[in-house]
Amino acid sequence: MYDNSLFGLLQMLYETLKNEAKFLSNVGNQIADIRAEINRIQCFLQDADAKKTEYETVRNWIADIREVAYDVENILEKYMHKIAMRKDRSIWKENIALHNIGMETKDVMSRIENIKRCMNTYVDTGIRAICQGESSAEKSQWLTRSYSHLVDEDFVGLEKEMSKLVDELINEENDEFHGVFAICGMGGLGKTTQARKAYRHVDVQSHFQGFAWASISKQWQARDVLQSILTKLEPENRKQINKMRDDELVKALYNVQQRKKCLIVLDDIWSTNFWNSVQYAFPKGKGSRSKILITTRKKDVCEHIDPTCFLFEPRCLDAEESWKLLHKKAFPRVNTPDLKIDLELERLGKEMVSECGGLPLAIIVLAGLLARRPKIDEWRRTSQHLNVHMSGESFEDDGGIHGVLALSYYDLPYQLKPCFLYLGNFPEGEKISARRLYQLWAAEDIIALEGNQGEETAMMEIGERYLHELAQRYMVQVQLEETTRRIKSCRLHDLMRDTCLSKAKEENFLKTVSPQHLHQPMRCASSAKASSARTVRRLSIIVDNNDVQNYFSTDDKSFQHVRSALFFPRMTGRECTAYPLPIFQGLCNNFTMLRVLHLEKFSFEEILPRAIGNLVHLRYLSLRHSHFQRLPSSVGNLKYLQTLDLRVNFFSYLTLPSTIPKLQNLRNLYLPPSHQNTYKLELSPLSNLEMLKNFDTQVSPFRDLFKLAKLQKLAAVLSLEFDEMKEIITHLTLRMGRLRETSFRIYYNFHSEKDLTLLKQLLGCDHLRKLDLIGHISKLPEHHFFSQSLTKLTLRRSGLQEDPMVILQKLPKLFTLSLRGNAYTGKVMCCSPQGFPLLKTLKLQGLPNLETWRVETGAMPNLVHLEIEDCKKMEKVPDGLRYLTKIQEITIIDMPDTFQNRLQEVQGEDFKVQFRKFFDAKKFPKIKSRMIFSGHMFSGLLQTICPSTVPQEWKKL
């Protein structure tokens, strides 16, 4: 009996193990099947995106399929990680992991089959709806149509700009240069209103002989457009025009524009294809007497039609103009010049209109809302719940502001939509670093590497192209680098951000959490099979004060599907928001699929938890401006990490683990500005690095740079002897072919001729952008030895006896110049005419012998910021400062009383009349005067600063 029972148990165990082995052996095949399925899913989502169906059932299916796609990607990622970690795991752990993946795969395939069955059951309202359904463009065709006969009598703002546009339209001297005029900008900016204003202007009406207005929009027929224009130009020939063939229409329209001066408005063009279809009907060049005025949201349309077109990009209204427009629209029946508005009503109105961000359409919609509620109590209630009203029906409808802005979103190519939605992660008004954005897009596979004739295109270049496309469509506002003219940063208009968040919520792309949601329970997942509540994949959390622990529970397993978590402290200033260790520990244990972790300006305990190594799928980790002192060795587990930003607070004295070299997928590494390492940090294994910041030869072997063949951008601190310095400069100059941009801080005394030869070699590097030289320079090389790309130069302790301005003012692209601590020991310094053509910032600090500084007419024409500090013998303000018409800020630190008094006198009573036009207080609105103490008062503090970043004599204080 006992033997039979034991035999039965063994038989059951054998069958179980046999079935398990069969199951495990089949996981690989399941993965192959699911790879194929994800490709079909992506194709379906792309096709479905092209048609915005009104069927709720179909929209629900699309959402279900998108959820499945996310889960399939998670499974594939886990499987790939399992394969990569196979050598490091025991067979037991390996089989457990494989079993779990197999079960997840089985579950997902079951969900896919269930969706397919539902779609087959309701195919008449499902697939057919996607294939035949009315697109958003078709739905909005009539809503966006414009008419030339409607004239807005309440046109506000941009009067000067409009006058210039009219002058250009009627200026016959410009005929050979400008045949096409374009008004470009984001939706709701009033482009059509401005075109109509110019079209109906009395000077324009008297100048041209023929007029035609055509509303193009997204749905257009070339024949209908040409026929409509020709009929308006020659209404007496309507019957003949209706009978013309297409080629006859083109020729007839072309000829009529040759015979007489015509103004043709093509309003709301969305596609270059439109112009390709009608371009031969419009003459261009010297022979044409007619002009075309177009409006569009896409700059590339203008450039395609005519690269030399006159481009008019309307700005948003300022606060005064916004209130004026609201006033006119909200009080249309009593709009008289002497009308007195209640002060409280005006205060509320100005407060509410500021939320419109100067966007005319938003102001008009708000005014319509307020016009129906004329009483002050109603305005007060509207103001208190403005966010609700701004997202209400009048703003969300297709004809409302968000409906209009959403048209730009619908028009985006499929691959650009997640790029735009991702911008919703950032707080309102946030200036978003373009490079950081590219890194985040890459980390989440929103952008992917492309092949280009067998060569790999860099992620950053693809990201830049995508962001440029969004900027061309006026969906983001961008700031360009002054030197390269590449995109430096971007931001969303407040109302465009509202549209972005609305679409992100609609597509379950992103969940944002702010302090006002603190009392609402935050969970990130529901049943994956439920359609009513989707799994949250991305989190953006604004943390108020030190309340991180109030946002979520540390043991909440619902966060296991979250892919990105971006935390933004609400606190301003330099202080960091506390981030308790248990909360971080819980995050590391529960956010198991995390790819992106952004934790900037937070204060942690001395060491980050080892559990950070559990985030094995992490690709982006930023701890910038945070405070902690040790990074655990478990960070070496993050094998897929692409970007690691450790630019913590300077006084954090961060200790880095020896496991950093294991992160061999790193592309972007930002090292801390100060280290406490007792060993050399090896970086040579990081062969995929494209960007390296804060590299320090006192922390890492300088020859490590020679092995980073893919490096494109380098910022380094070099403290080396002559032979080593020569070796690294020679390598940087001759052998690092991919290097595009370098910045150096160099501690070295250039005494001898061979030292100066080395300096010339360094200065001649084509990729040199920024240079900080700390040490003696016996003679400054002539300007032709300097790189033409140098934009920022700092000289410290140089001991130059000859005026450096004679040479430096000839550098064509220098934007910032700082002369510090005995950089120049002479008494006289002169900036000559045409010197420093692009200089915007000049700092003169610690030049003890300088007595006279002459600024001649025409020098530094673009100077904006000037700082003068501790130049004790310079008592006279340079008279030439009166020629600096663009200066905005002058900062005076620790200067003689006579110098400071002179500045006050220039703006004071005695010289007010004589000098005001030269040194106007309005022209220099921020003249600051403050005293700082000498260096010896900070000697204790200076002793603690990292040796590699502080001059040797400072440590003796």
DSSP one-letter code for 844: E
pLDDT score for 433:
93
Please check the confidence at residue 260 and state whether its pLDDT lies above 60: yes
In the predicted model, what is the mean pLDDT of residues 842-851?
A: 93
Q: Quick one: which of 700, 634, 698, 629 has its CA closest to 669?
A: 700
Q: Are 304 and 273 in contact (CB under 8 A)?
A: no
Question: Residue 708 has which token pair?
Answer: 């980073």
- DSSP secondary structure letters along 219-278: S--HHHHHHHHHHHH-GGGHHHHHH--HHHHHHHHHHHHHHS-EEEEEEEE--HHHHHHH
The per-residue pLDDT for range 813-833, each reduced to its tens digit, is: 999 999 999 999 999 999 999
CA 746 vs CA 485, 671, 793, 811: distances in Å: 27, 17, 12, 20
pLDDT score for 943:
32
For 782, half-sphere exposure in the C-beta direction (CA atoms, 13 angstrom radius) is 1
In the predicted model, what is the mean pLDDT of residues 589-607?
A: 84
CB crowding 387-398: b at 16 or more within 10 Å, else e: eebbeeebbbee
Which residues touch 599 (CB under 8 Å, ≥6 apart)? 567, 579, 622, 623, 626
Please check the confidence at residue 18 and state whether its pLDDT lies above 60: no
Q: Quick one: which of 128, 106, 111 has its CA closest to 531?
A: 111
Please check the confidence at residue 365 and state whether its pLDDT lies above 60: yes
Q: Quick one: which of 152, 67, 56, 47 has its CA closest to 107?
A: 67
Please check the confidence at residue 84 and state whether its pLDDT lies above 80: no
Residue 896 to residue 876: CA distance in whole angstroms = 10
pLDDT score for 177:
62
Q: Are 238 and 200 in contact (CB under 8 A)?
A: no
Report pTM. Answer: 0.79
Question: Which runs of consecutive H residues, i.e. helices, occur in 306-359?
Answer: 319-330, 343-353
Assign residue 783 a region (left: φ > 0; alpha: ψ between -120 and 50; beta: otherwise).
alpha
For 164, half-sphere exposure in the C-beta direction (CA atoms, 13 angstrom radius) is 9
pLDDT score for 331:
74
* One-letter amino acid for residue 879 of the chain: D
DSSP one-letter code for 157: S
Residue 117 to residue 111: CA distance in whole angstroms = 10
* One-letter amino acid for residue 506 of the chain: E
Please check the confidence at residue 747 and state whether its pLDDT lies above 90: yes
CA 466 vs CA 100, 439, 460: distances in Å: 38, 13, 10
The per-residue pLDDT for range 295-329, each reduced to its tens digit, is: 999 888 998 998 888 888 888 888 888 888 888 87
CA 794 vs CA 86, 770, 804, 828: distances in Å: 52, 8, 12, 19
Nearest 5°: phi and psi at 54? -90, -5
Q: Is the dihedral of CA 151, 153, 158, 162 positive or negative?
A: positive
Which residues touch 338 (CB under 8 Å, ≥6 apart)? none
pLDDT score for 33:
60
The per-residue pLDDT for range 406-419, each reduced to its tens digit, is: 888 888 888 899 99
Please check the confidence at residue 922 and state whether its pLDDT lies above 50: no
pLDDT band at 69 (very low <50, low <70, confident <90, very high): low
pLDDT band at 292 (very low <50, low <70, confident <90, very high): very high
Long-range (24+ apart) CB contacts under 8 A made by 160-165 are: 161/312, 161/314, 161/315, 162/194, 162/197, 162/198, 165/194, 165/198, 165/310, 165/312
The per-residue pLDDT for range 332-345, each reduced to its tens digit, is: 655 444 445 677 77
Residue 734 to residue 651: CA distance in whole angstroms = 36
Question: Residue 650 has which token pair?
Answer: 């300077």
Q: What is the mean pLDDT of the chain?
A: 77
Please check the confidence at residue 936 and state whether its pLDDT lies above 80: no
Please check the confidence at residue 628 and state whether its pLDDT lies above 50: yes
SS3 label, residue 752:
coil
pLDDT band at 680 (very low <50, low <70, confident <90, very high): confident
* One-letter amino acid for residue 747 of the chain: Y
pLDDT score for 68:
67
Question: Residue 469 has which token pair?
Answer: 């496309």
The per-residue pLDDT for range 873-920, each reduced to its tens digit, is: 888 888 888 778 888 888 888 888 777 777 666 543 332 322 233 334
Q: Are 577 and 571 in contact (CB under 8 A)?
A: yes
Q: By 3-state DSSP, what share of the chain in percent is helix, strand and coil, each rounded to 5?
A: 45, 15, 40
pLDDT score for 30:
58
In the predicted model, what is the mean pLDDT of residues 349-377?
A: 81
Please check the confidence at residue 132 and state whether its pLDDT lies above 60: no
Residue 779 to residue 758: CA distance in whole angstroms = 13
Nearest 5°: phi and psi at 97? -60, -40
